[in-house]
Amino acid sequence: AQTVTQSQPEMSVQEAETVTLSCTYDTSESDYYLFWYKQPPSRQMILVIRQEAYKQQNATENRFSVNFQKAAKSFSLKISDSQLGDAAMYFCAYRSLQSIIQGAQKLVFGQGTRLTINP
Amino acid sequence: EAGVTQSPTHLIKTRGQQATLRCSPISGHTSVYWYQQALGLGLQFLLWYDEGEERNRGNFPPRFSGRQFPNYSSELNVNALELEDSALYLCASSLARRPYSNQPQHFGDGTRLSIL
């Protein structure tokens, strides 16, 4: 079974600075998808960015980018120019391509990292 | 476009009672997923419904069950409630499953279930 580990329960960063959230995962599969979700105090889970494992190029969405190291099974999220609105719980998630073929499509989540932005 | 909606926002029950949580997916989405987010444990996959059928379930006891209606909305039922069932229950929806489909899951705001 796949597992996702976020080793940083809490992180803080000064507004306008850059912060990197760590995520590692364990899988024996070669094809899969990785996601970062953001959960602000309003509770709604919001998709921030996603990466297909077969793509070598790191995904980027505006101020959010990932550092995907497939061999190391690492998938970190970098937030540049941090803003107060970025404060939230951030979850790393894994979805097996095999499970998609078989029809499972479930997401496996890490424990989350609470990000605080200091003004 | 309306997002995933869940009701109620908060539900308070006592041990042994039964709880029903509801979810309406985004229009056009036929797949609905349920996750449990207990304090300090991250999100755990509960159930997946697609086109009215249960397709997969996580490692939860049979007291957790649900169904999906013809309009693709879904209910999660938890019987014989226990204190450990206190959690935020999140529903997500996505477009129809097909081989190689990678439609992202869109989440609702959740129902916070508190067991006294």
Alpha carbon distance A4, A24 (integer Å): 6
Interface A–B counts its CB contacts (< 8 A) at 69
Token output for B27: 């229009």
Q: How far is A112 from chain B (nearest CA, A)?
A: 6
Q: How far is B8 from chain A (nearest CA, A)?
A: 14
Chain segment B38-71, per-residue pLDDT in tens: 887 778 999 999 888 898 888 899 999 999 999 9
What parts of chain B have a pLDDT lower than 50? 99-100
Chain segment A8-37, per-residue pLDDT in tens: 999 999 999 999 999 999 998 888 899 999
Chain A residues whose CB is inside 8 A of the B94 CB are 105
DSSP chain A: --EEE---SEEEEETTS-EEE--EEE-S-S-EEEEEEEE-TT---EEEEEEETT--SPPEETTEEEEEETTTTEEEEEE-S--GGG-EEEEEEEEEHHHHHHT----EE---EEEEEE-
In this prediction, residue A81 carries a pLDDT of 97
Chain B residues whose CB is inside 8 A of the A101 CB are 99-100
Looking at the DSSP bridge assignments, the partners of residue A96 are: A32
Q: A101 at the B interface (CB within 8 A)?
A: yes
Nearest residue to A53 via CA among A35, A72, A83, A33: A33
Question: Residues A47-54: what's their mean pLDDT?
Answer: 91
Chain B residues whose CB is inside 8 A of the A91 CB are 42-43
Q: B94 at the A interface (CB within 8 A)?
A: yes
Alpha carbon distance A93, B39 (integer Å): 17
Confidence of residue A103 (pLDDT cuts 50, 70, 90): low
Chain segment A62-87, per-residue pLDDT in tens: 999 999 999 999 999 999 999 999 99
In this prediction, residue B12 carries a pLDDT of 96
